[in-house]
Structures are given as C-alpha cells and as structure tokens.
Amino acid sequence: MIPDICFEAHVLRTALLLGLVHEREVNAWADALLMTATESVGLLANVALARPELTTVREALRPLAERSDPSALGTALLAFLATDPAAAAFAPPDRIRILAQLRREEILTTPMTSAIKLFEDRWMLASAGVRAEPSLAVELHEWLANVRGVAYYRISLERADERAALLGALSRKVVRDRRVKISPQRASCAWMVDSESGAGPTLLLNEALWRIAVVEFSPLPLGSRIPYARVPAQAVLVLDEATAEPMGADEASNRLAAV
C-alpha cells in the first residue's frame, strides 16, 4: 500500500535520530496525510500536533512505527542518505557519523555493518594523520550507490487536476530532454497506484523521474522524499520515457482517467 503510513513513520523516526530530517518536517508530513487519511487518524494527529522536539516527535511516531515491517528500514535509510537533496550537502565525516549511528541501530545486514565499521576506522586514522585516505569520499559514495538498492518515490496530490498537471509537465520535460534512445533500465517512469484506504490515487516515480521532479518542483514535501523499495503489483504505468509523448493537462487527465 502506498502511502504506507507505518513504514514512513518508521523511516522518519530513525531519520530524526540520525539528523536526516527536522522535527517540523515530520509535523508537516503528518498534517499532509491527515488531509486524506481514513486510518490511524488519531495517531497522525498526535504527530502533527507534537511539540517539534526530538524526543516528543519520536515518541508520537512510535505507535505507528511499531506496526511496520523492520526488514525494509535499513535499505530505505541508506537510500535516503544517498539521494535526499538535504543529505547531499553532508561532508564525508558527517556521512560516516550518520552511518556509524545507523550501524549501532542493528538494522543492517552483517556485510553492511562490517563495511561501515571499516569506513569509520579508515576515517579515524586519516583524521589522526596516521594514513592518508584521498579516495575515501569517492569509495563511500560508490558503496552507498551499490548497497542502497532501487528507490521509488510517491507524489500524493489530493486533486485530480493537480495530478494531471504534474504528469503532463513531467512528460514534456522528459521528452524535451530526451537525446538518444533510452534503455528500459534508465528510462524515467511513473505509475499510478490506487489507495486501498479510499484516499485518492498516488503517482509513484522511479528515481530517474524523481530527480527531475526534485529540480523542477523543489522543495518536495517530506512524504515525497521517502524511498520505497518496489512498485506495487497493482500499479499501472502511466509514463515511460522510452515511448512517451508530451502531454498537456487535458491529455494527462485523459490518460489517468483511462487507468
């Protein structure tokens, strides 16, 4: 189900501890979900109204987070650290500090924790002047890119005309920037996912298209920056860069209505 409120709450509860998001952003995340939520309304209201302090907001998130499957948490946080626009500004020492704290949460696989510990040790020796590590930042970036997995991002808009306008704008952007034949693995894609809770449908973007949205429509709300690991089975493809034609708002509206 997308949005998966419990999964997102679990990600944000740990992201707060790691310093990846601000408490007020989490208040706003809950407030936005309350606009269409039919489940967990009381728990979301507690998060939206929580005093913007670390302990208070994390405690408000806890009842939601406890309902989530913890197996997807580690890779989601690695993807968040690797792709989120705010996290991109972190220097290598900050990234290693965050990864070290994530390692201590014991939610990553043993190979991941071992690799992070090695990065910590190498950075400590470099900081002490014992051994130069000129390639450490590059290696850290490459390691994150390799272990974080595929990421997809939701764009939840309450009104159908807003969804159509967004899809149309994205289609025109990808077609305008398309220079050569695109492989299916690299094409920008979007799906529409119906909500099981009765709320409006959600647009789900792959990372290539999401990065375009980050540039064109920044800042994205926090809910649109939380990475999902897969496309739901019931999702319907509504935009594929490899075959896309530019759409106006009316054409995009007809495309979504036909799904």
pLDDT tens, position by position, 1-15: 788 999 999 999 999
pLDDT tens, position by position, 139-192: 999 999 999 989 999 999 888 899 999 999 999 999 988 776 666 667 899 999
Question: Which residues face 154 on adjacent strands?
Answer: 204
DSSP 228: B
In this structure, how many other beta carbons lie within 10 angstroms of the beta carbon of residue 89?
A: 8
Model pTM score = 0.91
Q: Are 85 and 214 in contact (CB under 8 A)?
A: yes
Instruction: Decide which of 213 and 126 is more confident.
Output: 213
The percentage of the chain sitting over the pLDDT mark of 90, rounded to a whole number, equals 69
Query: Which parts of 51-160 are beta strand (E)?
Result: 152-155
Dist. CA 7–CA 29, nearest whole Å: 13
Which long-range contacts does 101-108 make (Cβ < 8 Å, 24+ apart)?
101/17, 101/18, 102/14, 102/18, 102/74, 102/77, 102/78, 105/14, 105/17, 107/14, 107/70, 107/73, 107/74, 107/77, 108/74, 108/78
In the structure, what pLDDT confidence band is assigned to residue 19 with cuts at 50, 70 and 90?
very high
In this structure, how many other beta carbons lie within 10 angstroms of the beta carbon of residue 186?
A: 10
Q: What is the pLDDT of residue 182?
A: 67
| CA 146 remoteness from chain centre | 17
Dist. CA 57–CA 6, nearest whole Å: 15
Dist. CA 177–CA 193, nearest whole Å: 26
pLDDT tens, position by position, 223-243: 999 999 999 999 999 999 988
Cα→Cα distances 208→39, 113, 128, 189, 212, Å: 31, 28, 39, 8, 7
